[in-house]
Structure 1
């Protein structure tokens, strides 16, 4: 009876649990979404969607900035390439073989009265140099102009720059008449003013000297009107004469003094040089040489701009460029060892690799107790390169030791 009651009790208990499970729960289950909202700096609540939109906008802005920076760098690179290209083109134009093509020789029409001028014209045409005949400026003169490489160049008129060199070609008789005219002027009273002196200089002395006086007049006016010009007078003697070598048969002593006075006056007062040439062939050679010298001017001026123009960059150069941070000193140390006789680049590199600076090598010498050990310090260094392994050797080691430690400036290293 007790057993049956216990079984019924368990059955009732189980049924009660089942009934309890089947009963609906009185409490409702609410699932809360995760609050992804954040707050701005001023305390305003920002929803998750808005925050995602702002993050997208921020990423887009950053991407746009990177794109703009990339475009800017690309544009700067293109501009740098363009500047280098233009600089290379200007440098190419400044080379003498190219710059001479921009020069034009202006020959005064008065020189064409002499048949020998054809020699000059044929030579210029044969060299394919530009020249033109003009009837203005200083009579019997030859001057040069060139095209301006840049619009901002100083003294450029309509894109043309006039060179400072001017030649005045005259005959020997005209030079004699100029000497006589100068003598007449110097005989005038020293108390006369400069205006009166010029009037006496330009006043005709006679029909014979009228042409020479006219040349002297034009030369004086030209030098007064154009500052900075370097005028050279070429006198064609027509026979074996040079400056200061006049013969007694052609000139008396007084005439020689008059000629020397004119030379002194032209050179000191007017800064005009005088050259005596045999004929048109030598005049032509002088014009050709001066034209070539003018063509080399810009390139030489450009090469002279650096502080050390003789130390050109390049592996073929003997110089080594050293930066302010010391980059390049190791190469200088290697070159210093390599300058010694019978020292290859590999042997010099072996020494400088073991001791990167002269001070380190001197310190190593001081640490050795004996002189013999100091001389043989570098002898066992291995030289890298070549068909077989080798050493620096005692001979080179001794020479380097003498180079760094000897106090005798006249000591021979070999």
Structure 2
């Protein structure tokens, strides 16, 4: 060992000496390089000469590593609940998105169906669902072929079948397809085409019925009145129009004179019959010249029936000018009743020379028309009722004034008068 140490010491010493000489000659850079080589050779010599470290014993334990912190049951349970809540949240969001998507799809479907339904209600499409039903007895009259030719030229549907009311023309409307087949709806409009002779028999029978035993005369009446009464009794909503075909009786004056001469009845009796048919049986009368006029009347009624569904739909909807919010100095009334007092004030403003300030003051004193009427009823004399609102103070533009007896009396007459033609001023 001593020899090894001396050799090492000698080598280092020699290196230091040589390094010192080189430093003096060559400078600091060569000195660093040599020093590194000396250190490397020294470490290599030491590793070569030193014995290797002994191997670890089999029973020896490895180096201790940092131990992991064990979680408690509460922490594990909290983590599990958090994971479940996050999973449930994702499921709820997924369900909400699916529900929202389904609602949007249903809303689009409803809008599409509403648009299709509205499209079918247009007159040009609705007229395709109408069928003109003609009684076969009418085809025996001269000129009835004009009606069939006109319907065929317009590409309108018509059918020739026996009607409940003979010599009549009615209409049916096809509805949506059902499981049992196509359903149809009978329209209320009915045209009863009569000759002048049949019409005179009808007028004579109705006149005798009005001045005699109604039940007996109904049973003995001719072939026109009995079916007409049976049809009206079967369906009170039917609207029957009598078309009297004779060019000689187109005007009411000429017709009345001819009826008077043929029936021996004066104008008052004839008017009584016509008024009775119109008011009590909802039957109107139209004199036409020939079957061309009958055809024109049928076409007019058919076009009017084709426009009816769209008009009924427009009547059920809100008025187009009644928009939400204020419009034309109007007031919107909510479901809870808020806004009614403003409507009460606007109602009084409609009276002549009743300003908004006066109307607001009266509405503040009597918040409803019923309270004002009760106040009128509690007073004994008419003069007291007229002067009930005269003493109310009204503030307008920084000034105070009273309602006055004139406006008070006008408001009183407006809400208590029974005469609709009464002039308030």
Question: Does residue 175 of the first structure (1) align with residue 195 of the second (2)?
Answer: no
Query: SS of the counterpart of 1:170?
Result: strand
The structure-2 alpha-carbon separation of the partners of 1:29 and 1:286, relative to structure 1 and needing over 3 Å to count, comes to same
Deviations 1:93-115 (A, max 9, x none): 01111111111111111111113
The residue number in structure 1 matching 2:130 is: 103
Q: Distance in 1 between matches of 2:145 and 2:255?
A: 28
Give the CA deviation at 1:291: 0.9
The residue number in structure 2 matching 1:228 is: 237
Q: What is the TM-score normalised by the length of structure 2?
A: 0.56
Q: Distance in 2 between matches of 1:92 and 1:162?
A: 22
Structure 2 unaligned segments of length 5 or more: list them: 1-60, 335-425
Q: What is the TM-score normalised by the length of structure 1?
A: 0.57
Greater Cα radius of gyration, structure 1 or 2: 2
The structure-2 alpha-carbon separation of the partners of 1:66 and 1:187, relative to structure 1 and needing over 3 Å to count, comes to closer
Give the CA deviation at 1:260: 3.0
The structure-2 alpha-carbon separation of the partners of 1:52 and 1:201, relative to structure 1 and needing over 3 Å to count, comes to closer
Give the CA deviation at 1:187: 4.8
2:137 touches 2:166 (CA, 8 Å); kept in 1?
yes
Q: Distance in 2 between matches of 1:299 and 1:240?
A: 36
Query: SS of the counterpart of 1:244?
Result: helix
Q: Distance in 1 between matches of 2:124 and 2:171?
A: 16
Q: Distance in 1 between matches of 2:149 and 2:168?
A: 18
Give the CA deviation at 1:56: 5.0
The residue number in structure 2 matching 1:203 is: 220
Picking from 257, 264, 280, the partner of 1:254 is 264
Give the CA deviation at 1:166: 1.0
Structure 1 unaligned segments of length 5 or more: list them: 1-26, 205-212, 326-414
Q: Distance in 1 between matches of 2:109 and 2:145?
A: 46
The residue number in structure 1 matching 2:69 is: 35
Give the CA deviation at 1:83: 0.5
The structure-2 alpha-carbon separation of the partners of 1:312 and 1:280, relative to structure 1 and needing over 3 Å to count, comes to farther
Q: CA RMSD in A?
A: 3.7
Query: SS of the counterpart of 1:239?
Result: helix
The structure-2 alpha-carbon separation of the partners of 1:130 and 1:235, relative to structure 1 and needing over 3 Å to count, comes to same
Query: SS of the counterpart of 2:164?
Result: coil
Q: Distance in 1 between matches of 2:126 and 2:311?
A: 12
The structure-2 alpha-carbon separation of the partners of 1:87 and 1:220, relative to structure 1 and needing over 3 Å to count, comes to same
Q: Distance in 2 between matches of 1:28 and 1:132?
A: 108
1:303 touches 1:309 (CA, 8 Å); kept in 2?
no
The residue number in structure 1 matching 2:299 is: 288
- Matching of residues 9-408 of structure 1 within 5 Å: 30-35=64-69, 37-40=71-74, 46=76, 56-149=83-176, 159-188=183-212, 192=213, 197-203=214-220, 213-239=222-248, 241-246=250-255, 248=257, 251-252=260-261, 254-257=264-267, 258-310=269-321
Give the CA deviation at 1:164: 1.1
Query: SS of the counterpart of 1:185?
Result: helix
Q: Distance in 1 between matches of 2:166 and 2:321?
A: 42
Give the CA deviation at 1:269: 2.4
2:249 touches 2:255 (CA, 8 Å); kept in 1?
no
The structure-2 alpha-carbon separation of the partners of 1:312 and 1:132, relative to structure 1 and needing over 3 Å to count, comes to farther
Higher helix share: 2
Deviations 1:27-80 (A, max 9, x none): 99754423251443xxxx63xxx8766655544443333222222111111111
Q: Distance in 2 between matches of 1:220 and 1:179?
A: 14
Q: Distance in 2 between matches of 1:247 and 1:269?
A: 21
Paired positions, count = 270
1:242 touches 1:276 (CA, 8 Å); kept in 2?
yes
1:246 touches 1:256 (CA, 8 Å); kept in 2?
no
Deviations 1:332-388 (A, max 9, x none): xxxxxxxxxxxxxxxxxxxxxxxxxxxxxxxxxxxxxxxxxxxxxxxxxxxxxxxxx
